[in-house]
Structure 1
Amino acid sequence: MEESKTKQPLIIEEWNGSSSTKLFRTATITASPSLSIQRSANRFNHVWRRFLDAFVPEGFPGSVTPDYVPFQVWDSLQGLSTYIRTMLSTQALLSAIGVGEKSATIIGATFQWFLRDLTGMLGGILFTFYQGSNLDSNAKMWRLVADLMNDLGMLMDLLSPLYPSAFIFIVCLGSLSRSFTGVASGATRAALTQHFALQNNAADISAKEGSQETMATMIGMALGMLLARITTENPLAIWISFLSLTMFHIYANYKAVRCLALDSLNFERSSILLQHFIETGQVLSPKQVSTMEHVLPLWTTLRWSKSDKFLHTRVILGIRVSSLDHHEMANLLNSAVSFYKTAKYLLVERQGIVSVIIHKDSTAADILKSYIHALVMTNLMDEKASLHLESQAWMDKQYEDLVQKLKSRGWKTERLLSPSVIWKACWYSESWDEKTN
């Protein structure tokens, strides 16, 4: 009996895959009566999978959010059009500098190129100073704006040969425009990578995105060189090609950011969610909100108005207490005693704008609560009610229910995406402490 057991064949199966749920058998090894190996008949799938692993994150598609694929498709297409146009704009720029002309000097061309790059570096620093803290909270908007600025920069390069007397000014303007692109695109890419990562695989997603971009670059360069050769000495063909590709680039970028269903809370998404909750008692999903929020600054739309539709435009988070006048300060102190004794924030209504004063010891949860409270007060403003009393009553009754429903719909309620530079204050009263004790 024991001898028969030892003579049973030993079978070893070889499996391959990027995750435990995405394995496929590649070979079967049998050790009876002699060693034999039977390889999988469908070896093409194995080779294809190995090739695909260089461009998609490990565990794909389960390791990324559902909006990863459509975004990457449109993002790759817009990148492809960018690299094709780069060949046309670079050709025009080199021509304007004097490449190929006997009268051109090396030192002159070097100086012009240095001045162009210097302007871009300074522009990048200034843009980071003024908008660096705002990029994370408005990733979709700045992602689109960055590519539009890149289009403007390439347009400046293409125009430079047409105005020799203003060449330096035009190329510096183009470099300045592209510097905004570099800062905004890099910062928003980091925010989007964190959004896509479902399994703490942000580094893997970033690396694979680099492979995708490299592939798009190589294809774009090849097509760009072919197009540049075809359109040489034909300015009309160059401009038609450039403008056509630019229009496609803008469209692809718009489709890319529209695919994104971000689950983090920023000013506008919080406003949309709150207003729908007040009207229906229900919370929208990230996908539903993504179709309603703006992807360009509000001033670019003709529908801009100070209506309930844009509650977040009437709220200022983190103002300076020293900016208030004496009358406003008196109202603030009265509100602090009457409504906000235990809160880590104070609300001030000034000419239709609700300003939020944040306590220096406030947490991320306090900041989110203060902003929702300010939106509620703004929503009640047209009803001519007692804003502080009515809004506080709504918060006491509805806020916890709102937060729970947000979590159940997949929203991240740990923090509110807002500029990192927020003015804070500290207030206390000995009489309050005595009463509470």
Structure 2
Amino acid sequence: MESSKMSKHQQLIIEEWNGSSSTKLFKTATITFSPSFHVQRSVNGFNHVWTRFLDAFVPEGFPDSVTPDYALLSAIGVGEKSATIIGATFQWFLRDLTGMIGGILFTLYQGSNLDSNAKMWRLVADLMNDLGMLMDLLSPLFPSAFIFIVCLGSLSRSFTGVASGATRAALTQHFALQNNAADISAKEGSQETMATMIGMALGMLLARITTENPLAIWFSFLSLTMFHMYANYKAVRCLALDSLNFERSSILLQHFVESGQVLHPKQVSTMEHVLPWWTTLKSSKTAKPLHLNVKLGLRVSTLDHLEMANFLNSAGSFYNKAKYLLVERKGIVSIVVHKDSTGADILRSYIHALVMVNLMDEKRSLHLESQTWMDKHYESFVQKLRLAGWKTERLLSHSIIWKAHWSLDEKTD
């Protein structure tokens, strides 16, 4: 606070300044006594309140009172002469907004697919979490691309949050043999807390050992990340889920067609993929699995005139008693499900579609031959599934977006 010398007829001027060091002071108001009292503020109330609020989260005298690598705040411009608090806040807001929108879109496109592929998405969730941490570590190294990198990290973690939450629920239901899902979930939380506490203690020790050694820090991070992913991969491989999804149904049907026997969940668990198909198909020389040529749900209005004629012909011949229709288009068998169909109807339709794909390489009537196979073997196949320990009550799959309702008029002479 400064004051000028004042005689009996002079005015008194007081300037109000704010700051924690002499080099970072800024004027907030000018107070005049001449002889009346007058206050002229140099900053608006909002900026003053926001500055006081920010003081609760950064050290006094920030950024001069801390080292340049104190936090990610330095990378977004906080502390730079040309930067503003509002600008820095906007960048953090953009990062969080990207994560929120990414989580919503991920749920929209994959939400109904998470429980049917719980093993794969459990692994992907951990991978995306590690990727998000890597982005956070890389962001201060590239200030010019900082906001882009942290947005990628936020996007990765948003996928992790959605996928891990959904798959955790599915796996908890799998573990709960005595309707004790709540107890298992609670104990899992305790186990996770204990593991986190141990990890924090070891992390502090490792941080002390690798202090001021960037090479050791990066080596430790990358080594532990690789070990984390390997451990998660082995853990997911041990899961033997007894619910039917697209791939397990395909594996079971192919083995049944070849041998007449049904595999047990533990046997199928060693054969199914836990990584996304696009990571293995390019390097694989074998034919694509059957389920990749089956699409559950078809918008009938997209059919052309010839396809629509075949569709109606199928409704009146091969599927006159079924609550689904199969349409073969360019090697892909699409399933149109009746609006009144049940879980058993959906399971039957999907197995039927797999049978049709399996017969596709042979020159024959796909509809007739596949229907003949279903009439002879389907009931036996389902019975053997139940005896092997598979849950056939429902087929875990994508939401069926497109359904249809059709009725057939009986012709009388």
> Do structure 1's residue 103 and structure 2's residue 82 form an aligned pair?
no
CA distance in 1, matches of 2:69, 2:396: 40
Corresponding position of 1:190: 169
Cα distance, 1:95 vs. partner?
A: 2.7
- The SS at the match of 1:429 is coil
> Do structure 1's residue 150 and structure 2's residue 126 form an aligned pair?
no
CA distance in 1, matches of 2:300, 2:207: 59
Change (3 A) 1:356 1:94: farther
- The SS at the match of 2:344 is helix
User: Pairwise mapping of residues 8-407 of structure 1 onto structure 2 (< 5 A)?
Assistant: 95-98=71-74, 103=79, 110-301=89-280, 302-304=282-284, 307=287, 310-407=289-386
Structure 2 residue identity aligned to 1:205 = I
- The SS at the match of 1:430 is coil
Match of 1:417 among 393, 396, 399: 396
CA distance in 1, matches of 2:156, 2:193: 23
> Do structure 1's residue 429 and structure 2's residue 405 form an aligned pair?
no
Cα distance, 1:93 vs. partner?
A: 8.3
- For residues 209-244 of structure 1, the C-alpha deviation after alignment (integer angstroms, 9 at most, x for no partner) is 000010011111111122222222111011100110
CA contact (8 A) 1:93 1:157 kept: no
CA distance in 2, matches of 1:111, 1:290: 47
- The SS at the match of 1:358 is strand
- The SS at the match of 1:233 is coil
CA distance in 2, matches of 1:201, 1:430: 50
Change (3 A) 1:167 1:303: closer
Change (3 A) 1:223 1:143: same
CA distance in 2, matches of 1:362, 1:123: 33
- The SS at the match of 2:334 is strand
CA distance in 2, matches of 1:305, 1:344: 37
Change (3 A) 1:92 1:252: farther
CA contact (8 A) 1:314 1:354 kept: yes
CA distance in 2, matches of 1:195, 1:244: 32
CA contact (8 A) 2:250 2:354 kept: yes
CA distance in 1, matches of 2:231, 2:223: 12
CA contact (8 A) 1:149 1:181 kept: yes
CA distance in 2, matches of 1:363, 1:269: 20
CA distance in 2, matches of 1:396, 1:93: 70
TM-score normalized with structure 1 length: 0.75
Cα distance, 1:336 vs. partner?
A: 1.4
Cα distance, 1:152 vs. partner?
A: 1.0
- For residues 360-389 of structure 1, the C-alpha deviation after alignment (integer angstroms, 9 at most, x for no partner) is 000000000000000001101111111111
CA distance in 1, matches of 2:270, 2:306: 42
Corresponding position of 2:6: none
Query: Based on CA coordinates, which of the two structures has the bigger radius of gyration?
Result: 2
Q: Which runs of 5+ in 2 are unaligned?
A: 1-66
CA contact (8 A) 2:316 2:408 kept: no
Fraction of identical pairs, as percent: 81
- The SS at the match of 2:410 is helix
- The SS at the match of 2:319 is coil
Cα distance, 1:109 vs. partner?
A: 5.4
Q: Which moved more, 1:185-194 or 1:346-355?
A: 346-355
CA distance in 2, matches of 1:144, 1:93: 32
Higher RCO (CA < 8 A, seq sep 6+) = 1
CA distance in 2, matches of 1:230, 1:395: 66
Change (3 A) 1:194 1:325: same
CA contact (8 A) 2:78 2:85 kept: no
Change (3 A) 1:92 1:254: farther
Q: Matched residue pairs, number?
A: 342
- The SS at the match of 2:105 is helix
Change (3 A) 1:342 1:219: same
Cα distance, 1:421 vs. partner?
A: 3.8
CA distance in 2, matches of 1:181, 1:165: 26
Change (3 A) 1:422 1:172: same
CA distance in 2, matches of 1:245, 1:112: 30
Cα distance, 1:114 vs. partner?
A: 3.5
CA contact (8 A) 2:346 2:395 kept: yes
Cα distance, 1:111 vs. partner?
A: 4.5
TM-score normalized with structure 2 length: 0.79
Question: Higher helix proportion, which one?
Answer: 1
